[in-house]
With several copies, the nearest count.
Chain A
C-alpha cells in the first residue's frame, strides 16, 4: 500500500500557517483547530503534503470540511489608511469591536476568507485607526492567523514532533529543545547496531522515538527504554507510525521492576537467548505476564552490556548514573540531559571523583532563527533557552 496516501489509523500532523497539531485519523472523525471544528473525511485517500481549504459545511454553521486545493487565488494585502501616534489612549476594554461574536461566526460561515474577514474586522473596530502602525501590523497578522483558511496534512517526523512539542510546552519534553535532541543523538553514537539504554522520566516519548528512528527498520539494534511509572509516555513513539518490527525493538520497562528482575535472576541471563528458553517453558508453566517477559528480554540484553546510556530525568542524575553505569560497556558514552546546569555540575564532580569516566563535558547551546527577506534580514526577535548535556566516556 502506498505510504504516501493518507489512511484511517495514521497519525497525521495538521498544519495551519505556523501552527501544527498531531492527530490520529479515525473514520468520520473531527478535529478542533483554533476556533473551528473540522471534519477530516475528505483527506482520507489523498496524499501527504496536499493542501486543503476549510469550507463551511452545508447546513451546519459550526462544522467545517476540507476541500483539496490545487491552486491558490491571488492574495491581496490589506491597506492601512491611518495610524495613531502612541499606545497611550488604547485600552483594551473588550468594547472596541462593533461586530458581535455572532456576527463574526456568521462571517466565518458565509465564506471563510481570512483577508475579507480581517478587512471587515478593521472596518468595524473603534480603535484600529488610533493604534500605531506597529500595533496595526501586529493586529492584522494575529487576525489573519485566526481566520486563515488553508491547512496542510503532513506525515509526522522527529523534526516536526520535537518542534511541535517544544512550542506547545517545553515541559512536555523535560525542556529538550531540537538542538539538545540532535546532540543527544550524536554524542550517544547511536546507529543501526548495538543495544542502547535510556532512562526517560517524561519526554512524551520523544527521546525513545528519536533513538528508535536512528536504529532504523530491520536492524539488529535494540533500545531499552526505562521509565519510572506504570506506563511509559509514548505519544511520539506511536505518532511515528513505526512498523511493528521496529517498534518491537524498543523495550519499554519500569526502572524498579527491571532492576529487581535483573538482581533476582542474574544467573539465568547467561543462558541461551530468552526466546528459545521461553518456548520450552511455555508448555510447562502458565504463560508469564507481558511485563515480565519484557523485563526478562531487557535483562538478557543488559547482561551483555549496552553501547550507550542516555538519561533525561526529573530526578537527580547521580543515583541513576551510579546504578545504571554498570550496564554500560567500557569504551562507550554516557549522555545526561537536564534543563538546569546544577544537577549536572553535581554529576560532573561525582564522576571526576570515581575515576571510571573521562572526557567529561557539560555543553549548552545558543540557538537562533533568522528572518531572511530582501532588505529585512535579521535574527528573529524571540528566542528560547535550551538545556544542558553532560557527556562522558566510560573506561574499560
Chain B
C-alpha cells in the first residue's frame, strides 16, 4: 500500500525497497507471513548477502532508516516507480526509467490525464503512468496474456493503486480498445510486436480535441512500418528518437608523476625506477565497463483535433509526393 502519497513509516503490507549497495537493491513486503512454494504459510524471511531479515521487523520503522542485519546493514526506502523498475519481477523485457521519463513528458501526461497502455508487460511503465495521472486521471492498460493481467492486477492492489488503473486482457491489434474508451484518451502508449496493427484503432480512443501517441519498438523495421501508418492516418509531429543513459560513479585516481629532469644532471646509472613515486590526485567520473547500447526506439506523434485531421492527411501526402528518391 506504499505507492500512493509520501509515507513516513512502514505499515504492515507495504512493499519496501531494501537498499544494501548501489547494485544490491531489492523489493520485499512488510508482512510477517508469506506462502511457501508449496502454498503453506511460513515466516516471511528475506535472505540478503549480509544476513537474513525478518520482514515483520520492518513494520513501524521509518522510511529512510537504517536496518541492522546479522552481517551488515541496509536501508529501507519507500518504493517509487523508479525503484520498482529496478526490482520488479521480470515477466517480459521491461521499459527503463530514461525511456519512461521521455514517454511521460512527450505524452504530456499530468494529473487528470486518461492514458491507454498496451501491453502491460511487467508493469514497469504502468507504475510511473499511474503516479502521473492520479488521483483524478486513470490508466487503462491492456495485455494479451491472461496470467500477466492477473499478476499485475494483484500487484496494483498490493500497492494501493487499484483506484487509478483498470487492467484488461485484450488483443488490441485485432479487437481494438473497446467501445467504453471511445474518444476518452489523452494519450496512448504501445509496446507491441506489431504496433502498426494497433495504430488504426487508436483513432477511436483519442479525444476529439486530439492527443498524443507513443510506440516503443526495439527494431527499426517496426519503426518504419509504424511511421508509415501514422503518416497515412494524419498524425503529425511524427518523431522517432532514442535515449541512452550513462550512469557515473565518481572516483579519485592517483596518477604517478614522472621526474625525468634529474636524468640531465645525474651521472651514475642507479635504479631506473627510483624517482617516480610522486602522484597527482585526479577526480574523475567513471562510466561502467559496459552500458546499455540500445533499449528501443521511441516514436511519438500527435493526432490533431477532429477539426484539423483531414487537412493534416492531405499535408502528409503532399510531403511524401514531394520527397525525392534516393
Given A370-B242, A381-B292, residue A72 in contact with residue B132 (CB < 8 A):
no
Expressed in whole angstroms, the Cα–Cα distance for A320 and B260 within the complex equals 8
B39 at the interface (CB under 8 A from A): no
Are A75 and B294 within 8 A (Cβ)? no
With a cutoff of 8 Å between Cβ atoms, the chain A residues found around residue B219 in the complex are 375-378
With a cutoff of 8 Å between Cβ atoms, the chain A residues found around residue B81 in the complex are 186, 189
Given A71-B311, A316-B256, A381-B294, residue A341 in contact with residue B284 (CB < 8 A):
yes
A213 at the interface (CB under 8 A from B): yes
User: Which B residues contact A (CB, under 8 angstroms)?
Assistant: 5-6, 8, 19, 22, 37, 62-66, 75, 77-78, 80-82, 89-93, 97-98, 100-102, 104-106, 108, 110-112, 122, 128, 131-132, 134-136, 145, 147-148, 151, 209-210, 218-221, 223-224, 227-228, 238-250, 252-253, 255-261, 263-264, 266-267, 269, 272-273, 276, 280, 282-285, 287-297, 299, 304-305, 307-308, 310-311, 314-315, 318-319, 321-326
Are B239 and A49 within 8 A (Cβ)? no
Q: How many A-B pairs fall under 8 Å by CB?
A: 326
**Which residue of the partner chain A has the closest CB to B93?**
A134
The segment out of A116-124, A279-287, A358-366 that lies at the interface is: A358-366
Are B311 and A51 within 8 A (Cβ)? yes
Q: A216-B110, A345-B283 are in contact. List 10 more A-B contacts (CB 8 A).
A: A158-B108, A187-B97, A214-B111, A329-B8, A341-B285, A366-B246, A370-B223, A372-B223, A374-B221, A385-B291
Partner of B290, one of A189, A318, A382: A382
B320 CB, min distance to chain A CBs, angstroms: 8
User: Which A residues contact B (CB, under 8 angstroms)?
Assistant: 4, 47-51, 69-72, 74-77, 85-89, 132, 134, 137, 157-159, 162, 170, 178-179, 181-183, 185-187, 189, 191-194, 210, 213-219, 228-229, 254-257, 259-260, 263-264, 307, 314-316, 318-320, 323, 329-333, 340-343, 345-346, 348-349, 352, 358-370, 372-385, 393-396
With a cutoff of 8 Å between Cβ atoms, the chain A residues found around residue B134 in the complex are 191-192
Are A75 and B209 within 8 A (Cβ)? no
Q: Can you give 5 contacting A-B residue pairs, CB < 8 Å? A: A47-B305, A214-B111, A352-B250, A369-B240, A375-B326
Expressed in whole angstroms, the Cα–Cα distance for A10 and B2 within the complex equals 40
With a cutoff of 8 Å between Cβ atoms, the chain B residues found around residue A214 in the complex are 110-111, 132
Which 8 pairs of residues, A with B, have the shortest CB-CB distance? A216-B111, A383-B293, A331-B64, A86-B91, A182-B101, A330-B64, A256-B272, A396-B64
